[in-house]
Amino acid sequence: MLNVGMTEILCFAVIAILVLGPDKLPEAARFAGRWYARIKRHISNIQNEIDRELKISEFRKEMQDELNRIEALERKVQSQLEEIEKRKLSELEQTPQDHQETQKFVRVYSFISTANYVPFNTWQRHQKMNECAHQEATLQPTSPIELKIAV
């Protein structure tokens, strides 16, 4: 870290003994050790914060890349749906008679309660059935639907 070799440490120790003397040398060593520990702790905290911020920025970048990929897929699917819709519309415009001829009919029946019927009275049953008219409805094309895919 500080590129201090054994000879430099030995030099510092000799100078410290000469300057401080043997009485104050242990106190000075404790004081220097505490400050060294504090500085080392602060440096490691700063390194941890930098690493955490880098991980967060990498995570944000990955999330943005995924969002961009999802948006690209959504645009691709939307364009494919629009293309299919255009193809169907062009087919319908080319053959409108065929489309009208092949239109399907749906019969809608309404529910009839059997509580009003007398058993074995077929005339009343036949009359009640005729009162409830069968409704016929044709299938109508629906409006276009926008498809969104969430991944």
Considering the domain boundaries, does residue 28 fall inside one?
yes
Q: How many domains does the chain have?
A: 1
Q: Does the residue 1 lie in any domain?
A: no
In a domain, 147, yes or no: no
Q: Is residue 102 part of a domain?
A: yes
Is residue 71 a part of any domain in this protein? Answer: yes
Q: What is the pLDDT of residues 87-143, one digit of tens each?
A: 988 887 776 555 455 555 556 555 555 555 444 445 455 555 555 444 444 445 566
**94: containing domain:** 6-138
pLDDT tens string 3-55: 778 898 889 888 888 888 888 888 988 998 999 999 999 999 999 999 999 99
Tell whether 151 is covered by a domain: no
The secondary structure of the chain, three-state, reads CCCCCHHHHHHHHHHHHHHHHHHHHHHHHHHHHHHHHHHHHHHHHHHHHHHHHHHHHHHHHHHHHHHHHHHHHHHHHHHHHHHHHHHHHHHHHHCHHHHHHCCCEEEECCCCCHHHCCCCCHHHHHHHHHHCCCEEEECCCCCCCCCCCCC
Residue 77: inside a domain: yes
Classify residue 125: in a domain, yes or no: yes
**What is the pTM for the complete model shown?**
0.41
Please report the pLDDT score of residue 103 as a whole number. Answer: 57
